Amino acid sequence: MVSRVRLVADPYPPYQYEEGGSVRGVDHDIIKEAFKVRGIRTETALYSWDECIAQVEEEKADGIFQITRTPERVRQFIFSHELRTAATLYFKKKDLCMALDGSAEPFFLLLDHKIGVLSGYSYDPVIDDLSGEMKVEKQSSEGLLYGLLAGEFDLALMDIGVAACLMRNLRIEGLDSVPGYEITRQLYVAFRKGLLELAVLFDSGLLEIKENGVYDGIFRKYGLQYIPSVR
């Protein structure tokens, strides 16, 4: 019987981060509780994304979390059931009146507005292919928020949980999201090939904490509310 699982992820508050010498965060805690109900302890270490992949490939870790499915990765790993859906939204100053009705193409929203994005991050082809004149790259999510406040751009693309956490911790006010548009991604835990039993145990534990309210309670603990996207 498996008693311990070694996991890796890259730092991404509020989903996984170090505090007081320990790893915590929404995704970390969900995974910890899902394994806990199956009597399995978790050990989590945070590295750069490339190092996380290497840790699993070299069998120094059993799995990696907050990962998306691709055909290449499915051949490489055993994927869990969906951990959660991540939502990336446009954020703006509250005094900027703007909304999408859900039918408009995002490109038309951007024709008259400059957008702030994270450097090196892929959103979707519409955003990634924008010319340099239409977007400003920042090295951090904090930089996106401060750039938006300073008027360097009109819109900033950010994960909804990251934005909420930073605005709360940095006491930033006067910003809100643009209704009617979001980019969603489904996130998973990926285990090394040969660890199917571990993946099955995790999936059953994940289902249990979703049914007993622990899953939603973890989001509330971090000041968030999980609303799955309709697909």
Domains of the chain: 4-84+186-221 (3.40.190.10), 86-183 (3.40.190.10)
Collapsed DSSP state (helix, strand, coil) of residue 216: helix
Nearest alpha-carbon partner for 63 in 6, 12, 22, 3: 6
CA distance 208 to 210: 5
CA distance 129 to 32: 38
Q: What percent of the chain has pLDDT over 70?
A: 92
pLDDT at 105 over 90: no
Fill in the amino acid letter for 7.
Answer: L
Mean pLDDT, to the nearest integer, of 62-88?
Answer: 94
The secondary element (H helix, E strand) that includes residue 87 is: strand 84-93
Contact residues for 93 (Cβ-Cβ < 8 A; gap 6+): 148, 149, 174, 175
Q: Based on C-alpha coordinates, what's the Rg of the chain?
A: 19
pLDDT at 132 over 80: no
Mean pLDDT, to the nearest integer, of 94-103?
Answer: 70
pLDDT tens track for 163-218 = 998 999 899 999 999 887 788 889 999 999 999 999 999 999 999 999 999 999 99
pLDDT at 82 over 90: yes
Taking residue 202's Cβ as centre, other Cβ atoms within 10 Å add up to: 26
Contact 128, 122 (CB under 8 A): yes
